[in-house]
Amino acid sequence: MKTNINVLGIETSCDETAAAIVRNGSEVLSDVVSSQIEIHQKYGGVVPEIASRAHIEKIYPIVEQVIQQSGLDKGDIDAVAVANQPGLTVALIVGLTAAKTLALVLEKPLIAINHIHAHLQSAMMDEKNLHLPAIALVVSGGHTSLYECKNILELKLLGSTIDDAAGEAFDKVASILNLPYPGGPSIEKAAKDGNPKAVNFPRTMLAKDSLDFSFSGLKTAVLYHCCGQDMKGQNRVEKMSQKEIADIAASFQAAVIDVLVRKTELAADKIGAETILLGGGVAANSLLRSELEKMAKQTGRKLLVAPKKYCTDNAVMVASLGYYKYKAGLFADMTLEAKAGCED
């Protein structure tokens, strides 16, 4: 096998158009992310059709840009990895079509990447001394799941949300509080001036040993707190002081993080994991990072989490995981489909 393997990664699962070239799984040669946040902001969330059109406009210029930035010739690319699931089908299909075309033209293998696994890869990619099995927590806009990570390519699902994902709860609560989309960073910013004990929001743990999550009760509790149980106070939020908004944001954030940390510890105990992996957009949250770090230290474990810029959607994580699939000879063919759900 060649000494250097250069994988081109493509990511278009939601509202970021991204491409990157990563050498040998960890050396980032180039990395471009074009966010559509401004386009979707006025709708308060991602509009799939608009996302798809924006990906079509951006994907080829971005691929050209990453090839140029990497200093490589097109022929130096050894494989094309693409996130084909889970996500918005109309968005995924754009990256997938671009990846298939590139693989055909360059005569290089196509590699299918699960976006959720890729989020975890961004936590592992710089670690030279990886102790597995690990407990892996993925917290994004669409998923909140705990996995046992047996090796880089093998994840076993242990639990997931039965209703809203953690990121989705952040986004919805931000919308209740009239804070801008995306809600996670807005809530985190507002919470900085708030008291996390101001409101005692519920911590839903489900059955005693359950590793599943539920955040819809918490979201409803915030809604009732703001608008009243009869929903007659819908204009009340507009009249709230900044301090009151900050207190609600901080109390909500504390409740989500409390549940995430407690369930992760429970899962780590169950499988005797020495390592905890954290990935996905919500992993950019400073309080979640510090509370998990605290728990990891107290229980003698090591927490691995990606730098903040690789927590939200990017193509470095796709190209990095692509390298390991390349080494294992796990290639896809031209029948590869985009899938909304997480099928494998």
Residues that bind ligand KG4 (CB under 6 A): 14, 140-142, 167, 170-171, 182-185, 188, 280-282, 284-285, 312-313
Smallest distance, Zn ion to C-beta of residue 342, A: 11
Task: Select from 148, 182, 263, 177 the least CA-distant residue to 215.
Answer: 263
- Cβ nearer to ligand KG4, comparing 103 with 146: 146
C-alpha to C-alpha distance for 53 and 46, rounded to whole angstroms: 12
- Binder to Zn ion among 12, 36, 84, 140 (CB under 5 A)? 140
Judged by CB, which is closer to Zn ion: 83, or 245?
83
The smaller minimum CB distance to ligand KG4, of residues 133 and 281, is found at: 281
Strand-by-strand arrangement of the 6-11 sheet: 27-35, 16-23, 6-11, 79-85, 110-114
Please, which residue, 133 or 184, has the CB nearer to Zn ion?
Answer: 184
Pick 84 or 140: Cβ nearer Zn ion: 140
Q: Which residues neighbour 65 within 8 Å (Cβ) at sequence distance 6 or greater?
A: 19, 30, 32
Tell the smallest beta-carbon distance from residue 316 to Zn ion (Å).
13
Q: Is 220 helix (H, G, I), strand (E, B) or coil?
A: helix
Piece of 67-75, 138-146, 205-213, 319-327 that binds Zn ion (CB under 5 A): 138-146
Q: Candidates 95-103, 245-253, 269-277, 307-315 — which segment interacts with Zn ion by CB under 5 A?
A: 307-315
Q: Please state at what angle helix 183-191 crosses helix 242-271, rounded to 10 degrees.
A: 110
Q: Report what 322 binds from ligand KG4, Zn ion, none; CB cut-off 5-8 Å by kind.
A: none
3-state secondary structure of 15: coil
- Give the pair of three-digit tokens for residue 305: 């989490």
CA 215, CA 123: separation in Å to the nearest integer? 24
- 80 vs 284, beta carbon nearer ligand KG4: 284
Nearest distance in Å: CB 115, Zn ion: 6
CB of 3 to ligand KG4, least distance (A): 33
Q: CB under 5 A: which stretch of 39-47, 130-138, 205-213, 309-317 binds Zn ion? A: 309-317
**CB contact at 8 A, 214 and 263:** no
Number of shown-chain residues binding Zn ion (CB under 5 A): 2
Q: Residue 276 half-sphere exposure, CB side, CA atoms within 13 Å?
A: 30
φ/ψ of 300, rounded to 5, equals: 70, 35
Does 313 bind Zn ion (CB under 5 A)? Our answer is yes
Give the one entry of ligand KG4, Zn ion, none that residue 204 binds, where binding means its C-beta sits below a cut-off of 5 to 8 angstroms depending on kind. none
CB nearer Zn ion, residue 259 or residue 283 = 283
Q: Give the integer Cα–Cα distance in Å for 27 and 294.
A: 29
Residues forming the site for Zn ion (CB under 5 A): 140, 313
